[in-house]
Structure 1
């Protein structure tokens, strides 16, 4: 009897323990499910935050790109504006030089019209010199001020002027030296040339006379 009572009293305890384990397992499963849901929510939030961060990074990169592009465009515009100003300055300088050259030619033509022609050779020399100087000035105005060719051009023009002046001086000296000697040579040779002409003419007449005499009947 006592054994049966023990089995009866222990059976409800076993059922209670079994029900307690089932409840614990169910509670554990519920807790695990809630944990998984929380983790899933956190993962979704983390993904959204990551996507938002990427969007922010992309927006920042796009803003930086647009800022650099705007800066580049502004710098390019400034360079273009500086180039336009430089070209305008060169054009104004070229117009000024052309106007000055036109004024020089106008003064030269006016001077030629008003200058009396007393010494044609001297007048021609002065005119040629003026034309040469104007041509040199015009050619020099075509060379940029910062060009390496400008000093070479100036030296060449200076050398040509010195050579031309030296040639003129030597030519004048040669003319001065040769003129009296040419006159002396002319005065010395003129009578001799006349005598030689008379002698040759007489010889020709004698020979022609002899020929006519021997050819008769």
Structure 2
């Protein structure tokens, strides 16, 4: 089982406290169900564009090609409401890994990357949904616990999805992503590469407040100003 924190949740591979000093944590800011939520970067493998996605018999579960195979994708909008995600130029799939389970998280947008002192994360109010495990008042975002979306009825079918040929899902609804073009496409590609460099750095080096991390965060901020 994953050890739960009083506020937020803990990454499996990172030590948040070193030498008695609480370290800052890196979060990706996502838009889900029209809300801004933050997800720990150390739980993310990659942020990818929404290209071709096939909906399974379960409306909240999709499949996309990723790497050399395929991966299941959860649509949190469908789980949280009756609303199905409508692809836009901002739609992104966040590839998450928790307890060795890899899956995609369909988002309306990946907005930003932030570095937060864990002491600045407040406990969520009693009225908060169960997928919220903390609040960052300074950033106006709620910390997302991805485990809250992993219902057993979903994870039970994950194994049958990995490596499947998308063309074999004849009964599935094919959903096409919407792409940017021209200068906007080039800027977004650069931004995505920077985001994925941040993710790789966090997973490879931990939450160390390094010179490289500072440079990557500044680079992402500069790119955002071009959009």
- Shorter chain as denominator, the TM-score bin is under 0.3
* Larger strand proportion of the pair: 2
* Larger helix proportion of the pair: 1
Report the TM-score when normalising by structure 2: 0.23
Q: Which structure has the higher relative contact order (CA within 8 Å, separation 6+)? A: 2
Structure number, greater radius of gyration: 1
Report the TM-score when normalising by structure 1: 0.23
